[in-house]
Structures are given as structure tokens and as C-alpha cells.
Amino acid sequence: MKQIISKIYDSILSEEAKIRLERTVFILAMAGFLIHLVVIALIHIGWIDAGSSIKGLQNPVDAIYTPFSILLFYEVYCLIYYLPKSITIYIGKQFEIITLITIREIFAELSSLTLSSDLQQMYSDLQFIYSMVTILVLFFLIYLFYRLNQKAIRINNNTHGQMSRMPEKKKKYAYAKKILTLIVGLIFIVLAIINLSEWLMSNHSLFDFLQNTKPATKEFFSSFFMVLILNDVLVLLFSFAITESFPKVIRNSGFVISTTLIKLSFSVSGLASHLLVIMSVLFGTFILILYKRYKTIEVPTE
């Protein structure tokens, strides 16, 4: 069983597989962007009659939405890829995903922004400003998050294939995370197929399909982050097998809370959604700061 799991894992989640996927994602993102751009051009010159109310096909800026969507799903692969390697990088990838979702939304808002010399009229929709501030705050917090974890990241980058040097308990922990990784990957594929099937069946034309892209994607990631919450809890429980360290338990518990806050952000809209996202990344970053500081002090022994 271990050999079968290792073979499956190496075929889809090895460094070589990741490099191959990166090339494919680049080609798909470029093709998606150009196709979307051509469709918008054909609508503008009147070769395609799409009506004036179709969102996502009115402005060349709308074409950016397609490659960002493809990159977003690649980030999900990266999240799954790093799960058995580093919990902190895995959590960082969650933060990157929600940041990309926010950036993708701001491009949609940017294309429909009303230009006017009257600033009050131009910025009457505060959602645009909320998104801009949220992106800046998230980018800064993600920088801090990775900055705090430089030592662990360097170790992870330089220890490929050195699992044999691990203590036996850590080997079992790493093996359990590999199984979880494959399960999460399988669930991701199943969720994607189910959502895509429902999406295609509920839309009777290409324009209806494009019109409902945003809510369908939001629903998909809401379901996927629910899976990640359950996965984070299992990782937390598995970590008890190799350590009873209080700071590590608190750190992993804090990461579960961060993932839960991201999941909740999909259930609301407007300012509340942005605040939940910022709270999630802020909480995860401060948990890591305190975890690093806690390791530098001397605590009572039993």
C-alpha cells in the first residue's frame, strides 16, 4: 500500500510534475486571455450579438479575468503540493488563493468603474476601494508571514528526498499527510467536476455561462475551504502523534481558525467579506509571530 501511494503521489505531486503543470498553466492562461479578448473584439465590431448587459464581455480589461481564474486553480494545486512538505507554506498558499480571488474581483470592478470628474460620483461604489485596500493589506501580511518563516522555507527547499533521515514518528506523520494530500486532491477534482456539470446544465448559452462565472466560482471555493477546514483539523490531530509542544498545538489550532474565517468570508459580501479575509490572514500571521517568540523563551519543565 505504501508503494502504491508513493507511486501515485510522485506521479502527480512531484517537483517534475509541478514543473510540467506550470508550463501547461502558462499556455492555458495565454490562450484563455487571447480567446476572451477576441470574443470582446468581435462583440464590439458587431460580428457577435451579445446584447449590452453581458458582464465580462464589455471591456478589454474583462479578459484578464480568464487567465486569473486559471492561475487561481493552479494555486490550489500548489496548496495541495505543499501540504505534506510544510504546514506554514500550505497555510500561506491559502492566503495567496484568497488574495488572488480578491484581485480577480477588482479587475471586474475596474472594468465597470464609472469615470467622472466628480470624485464623489466616481467612487460612489465603495466596493472598489475596499478591494484595493484589502489587496494591499493582504500582500503586506503574506510578506510578513513568509518573512517570519524563512528558516523553515530554506530547509524545505534544500531537503528534497531526505525523508529517510527523519525520526520514525515524523516519517509516519509525513506519510499520513501524503494520504491526506491525495484525498484532498481527489475531493478537489470531484468538486470541480460536480460544479462544472451543474454549471453547464443550468446555463443554456455561452453568454449565460460567462454571466454566472463569478457566483459559481465563489460557491466552489466556499465548498473547497470547508474541506480544507476538516483537513486542517486532521493535520492538527496527527501532529499530536509526534509532539505535545504547547506552542505548536496553538499554532496549528490558530491556522484552523484562519481557514475557517476565509470560509466564512464567502458567505457574506461587501465590507464584511473583506474584513473577515483580513482578520484571517492577520490572525494567522500573529499566531506565527507569537509561535516564533515563544520558542525563544525558557518555560517550566515537568
Residue 300 lies in a domain: no
pLDDT in tens, 28-58: 999 988 988 888 888 888 777 665 556 667 7
Q: Cα 191 from chain centroid? A: 15
Element (H, E) at 134: helix 127-148
pLDDT in tens, 181-224: 899 999 988 888 887 777 667 655 555 555 556 666 777 888 89
pTM of the entire predicted model: 0.84
Residue 299 lies in a domain: no
Residue-level pLDDT at 171: 75
Residue 73 lies in a domain: yes
Q: Are 126 and 94 a contacting pair, CB within 8 Å?
A: no
Residue 147 lies in a domain: yes
Give whole-number Cα distances, 87 to 152, 153, 256, 284, 296, in Å.
Answer: 10, 10, 11, 12, 20
Residue 113 lies in a domain: yes
Rounded to the nearest 10 degrees, the angle between the axes of helix 2-13 and helix 168-202 is 60
Q: Domain range spanning residue 186?
A: 2-294
The residues, any chain, with a CB within 8 Å of residue 30's CB and separated by 6 or more, are 67
Q: What gap in Å lies between CA 259 and CA 94, rounded to an integer?
A: 8
Q: Are 68 and 103 a contacting pair, CB within 8 Å?
A: yes
Count: domains in the chain: 1
Read off the C-alpha cell for 225: 475551504
Residue 287 lies in a domain: yes
Residue 166 lies in a domain: yes
Residue 301 lies in a domain: no
Residue-level pLDDT at 11: 84
pLDDT in tens, 247-287: 888 999 999 999 999 999 998 888 899 999 999 999 999 99
